[in-house]
Amino acid sequence: MKRRRMVWPVLALLAVLALSACGEKAHETIVTLSPTEEETEETTEETAVQLTTAAEPETEPETEPETEPEPIAQRPEDRVEVDGKIRSYLTGEMVDVEKANRRPLAIMMSNDKEAMPNYGINRAGVVYEAPVEGSMNRYMAILEDYDDLDRIGSVRSCRTYYVYFAREFDAIYAHFGQSTFAKPYLQYIDNINGIEGIGSVAYFRSKDKRSPHNAYASFDGIQKAIEKLGYSQEYSESYKGHYQFVVDGAQINLENSLDAYKVVPGYIYNKPYFVYNEEDGLYYRYQYGDTHRGSEGPIAVKNIIFQYCAAGYYATTEYRNIDVHNSQYGYYITNGRAIPLSWEKDGEFGVTHYYNVDHEEIILNQGKTWVCIIPTGDFDKTEIHGKDE
């Protein structure tokens, strides 16, 4: 296919290098794109003819004092309250202190066509999308702004790797049941289970959908459950945030990069893709052959991360077993451009960091981020298309 041929040489080399690393760090396997040559402008100085016979004394040129370069990134821990707002750990934007300083809700959401639209997903600062079993995939939406939502979901069950994703944001994890393989891991996170304990407080069944697509949460129900379970809503003192974002008023425009106006993660079931809109600088999401709409309109994000992970299946089942600990490769996509990345996890329950080919941590543009977890075996299904393709 002609449109894909332009990107596959880079993608294929990435795959070969990464899969043949045999234990080396992922950043050592990432292919470096050839830098563009910088044009240099030659300047000439005109020599003035001196009409005087006496030589003028030489003067040393004035030198300006060295100044520190302006920082381009804001670390998550560099949060200063201004006019009742503070920087969000999820988006890097200034939001109300009450919401930004409250542990977010990481809630499982269905991706079945029968469950559409996704209620509350437009509010998510970060969304993880990953396969669950067979060819199906599922979302985990991380929300800090959900106070006025009386319907969130539909809510589905937990898988092991989502526990780790929620822990990376010090979130309270909301799910409606879990797989047998995930259950032992729930002890490592504050979670609200829809089928155990006080699930009846946090969740309700709607009458406009059939089971299992009709389980929903609400802000009030979640808050009551949190209170009954005795969970703290303050971030842990050890939590220092996840991403680093560009400074206010600036934009990250990726250099030495690929054109990325349409990107396809390659999920088989819902066939999603993202299309870049130059007018607002956002990527709009499509699936099932149409615009992907949440309960508050079309879904659009500023940043997309393709995170490739080694994956298989639990024995004799269709449940996916995805390795989110051992470093692999991926792509960072924003403002119509894409660069290769490597990722490394900071300990079992620590944050995943993303690095460019120079092993510098990637700086995100302020705004919402969508993370596609893609098995390395599905690598060849990924597509990145340029503007004119």
Q: Which residue has the higher pLDDT, 354 or 81?
A: 354
Burial (Cβ within 10 Å: 0-12, 13-18, ≥19) of residue 89 = buried
Going by C-alpha positions, the residue among 132, 141, 186 that lies closest to residue 371 is: 141
Q: Give Cα 356 distance to the centre of its chain.
A: 15
**Across the strands, what pairs with 74?**
245
According to the model, what pLDDT value does residue 198 have? 79
Q: Six-digit token pair at 311?
A: 């994956």
pLDDT at residue 206 is higher than 70 = yes
Give residue 70's pLDDT.
Answer: 63
The answer on pLDDT for 388 being more than 70 is: yes
Confidence of residue 44 (pLDDT cuts 50, 70, 90): very low
Per the rule left: phi > 0, alpha: psi between -120 and 50, beta: everything else, 48 is: beta
Percent over 70 (pLDDT), the chain: 81
* CATH numbers and ranges of domains, the chain: 78-229 (3.50.90.10)
Contacts of 209 (CB under 8 A, 6+ apart): 114, 115, 154
Residue with tokens 């893709």: 273
248's tokens: 């206010």
**pTM (predicted TM-score):** 0.83
Would the pLDDT of 228 be above 60? yes
Q: How many residues does the chain have?
A: 389
pLDDT band at 177 (very low <50, low <70, confident <90, very high): confident
Phi-psi region of 288 (alpha: psi -120 to 50; beta: other; left: phi over 0): left
| Residue 78 confidence (pLDDT) above 70 | yes
Of the candidates 45, 18, 46, 42, which has an alpha carbon nearest to the alpha carbon of residue 30? 18
User: Is the pLDDT at 368 greater than 90, yes or no?
Assistant: yes
pLDDT at 50 over 70: no
> Which tokens sit at 368?
């919402």
For residues 339 and 303, is the Cβ–Cβ distance under 8 A?
A: no
188-214 mean pLDDT: 89
Least-confidence region, from 3-17, 26-40, 115-129, 179-193: 26-40
Is the predicted pLDDT of residue 235 greater than 90, yes or no? Answer: yes
Tokens encoding 253: 């425009």
The pLDDT value given to residue 330: 98
Q: From the CB of residue 190, how many other CB atoms can be counted at a distance below 10 Å?
A: 19
How many Å apart are CA 87 and CA 158, to the nearest integer? Answer: 29
Give residue 80's pLDDT band: very low, low, confident or very high (50, 70, 90). Answer: confident
Q: Would you state the structure tokens that stand for residue 145, as one six-digit string?
A: 């702004």
CA dist 229 and 221 (Å) reads: 12
Instruction: Label residue 230 left, alpha or beta by phi (over 0 means left) and psi (-120 to 50 means alpha).
Output: left
Give the Cβ contact number of residue 318 at 10 Å: 11
Predicted confidence (pLDDT) at residue 42 exceeds the cutoff of 60: no
Q: pLDDT tens digit string along 323-352?
A: 999 999 999 999 999 999 999 999 999 999
Nearest to 240 by CA among 126, 87, 96, 365: 87
pLDDT of residue 64: 54
Angstrom distance (rounded) from CA 109 to CA 155: 5
Contacts of 29 (CB under 8 A, 6+ apart): 14, 17, 18, 20, 21, 329, 342
Query: What is d(CA 140, CA 135) in angstroms, rounded to the nearest whole number?
Result: 17
Quote the CA–CA distance of 281 and 283 in Å, as a whole number. Answer: 7
Q: Give the mean pLDDT of the chain.
A: 84
From the DSSP assignment, how many helices (H) and strands (E) are in the chain?
Answer: 6, 28
The Cα 62–Cα 60 span in angstroms is 6
Q: Evaluate the omega torsion of the peptide bond into residue 236 and state whether it is cis, within 30 degrees of 0.
A: no
